[in-house]
Amino acid sequence: MPKISTKNKIVAVALDLFHENGINATSVDDILEASATGKSQFYYYFKSKEGLISAVLESFFKFIRLDASPINHEISSWEDLEDFFNFFLTMNKRFDKPRACPLGFIGAELNSSQVELSKQVNEIFDYMKLALKKFFDKAKKNGDFKKNIDTDSLADFCLAILQGGLMTSKIRQDIKPLKASIKHALKYLAIIRS
């Protein structure tokens, strides 16, 4: 019986609620209600709300690395890169209203005392950035890029445009800004490629 464990259910529900409303607007009670779990189950499985956030980030990271998504495996072609960008667009269409990136949203709401969680968020960002950078480095080696292209900052740019596109689309309740962001980012990459 592939029954989803209580713990996993809590994590899944929490991710969804954090993604939709943010960690600060999501109470432990909200999560328990949505997951039909008792109050003390929560503190049996998690040390605290921060502990849950940590588990959510962990599970999110796992999802990115293991699942059969364009993010999880290496980006090894320009098609892969397009897939990588468009993945965020596809994902977002699954929700009734545009959402920000769960990772970015969680990261943005962390305060300076939540050092461990910040680290976790940054590790995931590092992972995604590295995936992009690796590909850009390879492309550069192959002569796809001019030699003066800074692949590190280019990866930062890619992540930023995705975060910004998702965020503005959420705020404006319209998927267009995300589409525009991706379109122009890909166009930019195509131009500097040659």
**Interface ranges with a second copy (CB under 8 A):** 21-22, 24-25, 97, 100, 104-105, 107-112, 118, 121-122, 125, 150, 152-154, 156-157, 159-165, 167-168, 170-173, 176-181, 183-185, 187-188, 191-192
Q: State in Å, rounded, how far the first CA of the chain is from the last one.
A: 53
Alpha-carbon distances of 5 from 2, 16, 38, 67, 154, rounded to whole Å: 9, 17, 14, 19, 41
Give the integer Cα–Cα distance in Å for 126 and 123: 5
User: Is residue 115 near DNA by the rule CB under 7 A?
Assistant: no
Q: How far is the CB of 91 from a second copy (least distance, A)?
A: 16
Task: Please report whether residue 4 would count as binding DNA according to CB under 7 A.
Answer: no
Rounded alpha-carbon distances, angstroms, from residue 168 to 49, 70, 171 = 28, 23, 5
In whole angstroms, the minimum distance from the beta carbon of 183 to a second copy comes to 6
Q: Which DSSP letter does residue 5 get?
A: P
**Nearest approach, Cβ of residue 4 and a second copy (Å):** 23
Residue where the block lists tokens 């709300």: 49
* From a second copy, DNA, none, interface partner of 168 (C-beta below 5 to 8 A by class): a second copy
27 touches DNA (CB under 7 A): yes
Residues 185, 103: Cα–Cα separation, whole Å: 20
Q: Contact residues for DNA (CB under 7 A)?
A: 5-7, 26-30, 37-44, 47-50
